Structure 1
Amino acid sequence: MTATDDAASALLAGAMWSWSAQVFEPARAARRYARERGSAPVVDAVPPTPGGGARFSRLWREPRLLEEPTEHDALVVEFDRLAEAYDFYVRPFSGPLFAEALDVLAPLLRADARVLDAGCGPGRELRAVAHRVPAGEVVGVDLAAGMVVGAHRAAWAAGLDNTAFVQADVGDLPHELDGAFDLVYNCLAHHHYPDPPAAAAGILRCLRPGGHYAIVDPGPEWFVQISSTLALAGDPGWIGFHTPEQFRTLLEDAGFVDVRWYDLLPGFGLALATAPDP
């Protein structure tokens, strides 16, 4: 990474922190008020019953790492390099956003749910979900080996043994995961997917009938237009944002049904899709 790249990344981090302080926090205060009045939105969806429970966290006690390179390894070189520091840079921004997403997704997070984090990074969001599914589990997938190893270390240091970690390209998920999950989610990872249709198809393959796929990412067209240039300059591995309508097309083309968009915080939201029954 060059000095110019470092400067662009620093500019992006500063913009994210500023947006969080000046835009996210007032919006979160309004949503807290709405929750206290019982009017905050939650997903209008029902999870598979019963939940999948613990399985992979009992089988895979150590991270499962790839033995061969993939065609997309170049996209995660910087994530491997920044694995230890990445959480520091994104936490002030992604933390408030994912907290809102968890509140909206609460009906799908049964205590026995089996959940897949498709782009777990350093694993902070994964750990928050693992606390909510004590009789279930969360499996974290990331193509960056450094992220997978660090996320595993942090989860187990926190006593979260209902977790497992796999290095994989989200567009080529291991077939051991087929039909296993009640919920798959990603947070600020979808815009790094090099092949969104392949990722959507693979994630559908990993869901149980009636399971759900939740994408937390930028969406409104006005935000996509103003933020794409900055993301291209400073976000390692950035591919592109989707608007809500583009998410709908992507997910329906992959075979999902009942695709919906939920606003979270200004500029960001949650695309939610359902795996059809056989």
Structure 2
Amino acid sequence: MSNYQISVATFNKLARQYQDKYMQMPLYEPTYDQFSELLGERDRVLELACGPGNIARYLLARRPQLDYLGTDLAPQMVSLARENNPTAQFEVMDCMAIDSLSQMFDAIVCGFCLPYLDKHEAKALIEAMAKRLKPGGLLYLSTMEGDYAASKLQTSSSGDQAFIYYHCGERLTHILNMAGFELQSCHRQDYPERGDVDLFIIARRR
């Protein structure tokens, strides 16, 4: 089983616990607010690795007429997202299969998907997202920032595992620029519980 598959299996198993912990996340809400203010009322939005629909619910509460498609590789996450956001559409899909979509989007949300992708996969995903965004389209991207060499398989007290990759903000900014994005904002937030730094980027496709 690959590192990615290990992480997805854990998220599928612990979907409801993840929902209970992260459905309300005031620490991240300022970044959601900033992103939602840039959206049009009826924009077509794609979310990758949507989890239980926590970001979707926040955005749809402020922009209820968004044409929203959320995707996640964990079926239990998709099931919860549908329960939490009955007006949106959710499908089981690997984020790396974004090229299989034919439609173009006004915005893409990719919240904390990159911590489960290695640096090569992260670069490929950013480039693929650029191809699915309309000119002027928005990207919301968040990840755990740190030394890539510190990436490792982490095991919880209950024995559940996930492989966590840390990504460098400067490298991500360079990849975004090369993929045709202009940076709109870059925000770092300490996460005391983990002892990590979370990175939030909003960019617009040129």
Normalising by the residue count of structure 1, what TM-score does the alignment of the two structures yield? Answer: 0.61
CA contact (8 A) 1:120 1:141 kept: yes
CA gap 1:168/1:86 in 2 versus in 1, 3 angstroms: same
**Which of 78, 87, 91 is 1:166 aligned to?**
91
Alignment partner, residue 80 of structure 2: 150
Shift of the alpha carbon at 1:167?
A: 1.2
CA gap 1:213/1:242 in 2 versus in 1, 3 angstroms: same
Q: Could you tell me how far apart the structure 1 residues matched to 2:176 and 2:57 are?
A: 27
Residue deviations 1:156-177, cap 9 Å, x none?
2xxxx1x111211111125334
Residue 104 (structure 1) aligned with residue 31 (structure 2) = no
Shift of the alpha carbon at 1:236?
A: 4.2
* AA of the residue aligned to 1:186: C
Shift of the alpha carbon at 1:143?
A: 0.9
Q: Could you tell me how far apart the structure 2 residues matched to 1:118 and 1:72 are?
A: 15
Q: Could you tell me how far apart the structure 2 residues matched to 1:122 and 1:128 are?
A: 12
How many residues in Structure 1 have an aligned counterpart in Structure 2?
192
Residue deviations 1:183-238, cap 9 Å, x none?
1112222212351122112211221111021112333xxxx25xx57884448433
Q: Could you tell me how far apart the structure 1 residues matched to 2:202 and 2:177 are?
A: 11
Q: Could you tell me how far apart the structure 1 residues matched to 2:204 and 2:32 are?
A: 17
**Which of 242, 257, 266 is 2:167 aligned to?**
242
Q: Which runs of 4+ in 1 moved over 3 A?
A: 70-75, 89-92, 174-178, 228-239
Give the structure with the higher percent helix. Answer: 1
Q: Could you tell me how far apart the structure 1 residues matched to 2:57 and 2:107 are?
A: 15
Alignment partner, residue 257 of structure 1: 181
Alignment partner, residue 48 of structure 2: 118
Structure 1 stretch displaced more, 228-237 or 81-90: 228-237
Alignment partner, residue 83 of structure 1: 15
Q: Could you tell me how far apart the structure 2 residues matched to 1:174 and 1:257 are?
A: 18
CA gap 1:72/1:238 in 2 versus in 1, 3 angstroms: closer
5+ residue gaps, structure 1, are 1-69
Larger Rg: 1
5+ residue gaps, structure 2, are 191-196
Alignment partner, residue 24 of structure 1: none
Normalising by the residue count of structure 2, what TM-score does the alignment of the two structures yield? Answer: 0.79
Residue 214 (structure 1) aligned with residue 140 (structure 2) = yes
Alignment partner, residue 58 of structure 2: 128
CA contact (8 A) 1:73 1:143 kept: no
Q: Could you tell me how far apart the structure 2 residues matched to 1:168 and 1:77 are?
A: 14
SS of the aligned residue for 1:237 comes to strand
**Which of 96, 103, 109 is 1:185 aligned to?**
109
CA contact (8 A) 1:247 1:271 kept: no
Alignment partner, residue 4 of structure 1: none
Shift of the alpha carbon at 1:144?
A: 0.8
CA gap 1:176/1:263 in 2 versus in 1, 3 angstroms: closer
* Paired-residue identity, %: 22
Task: Please give the residue correspondences for 1:27-42 in structure 2 after superposition, counting only pairs within 5 Å.
Answer: none
Residue deviations 1:37-70, cap 9 Å, x none?
xxxxxxxxxxxxxxxxxxxxxxxxxxxxxxxxx9
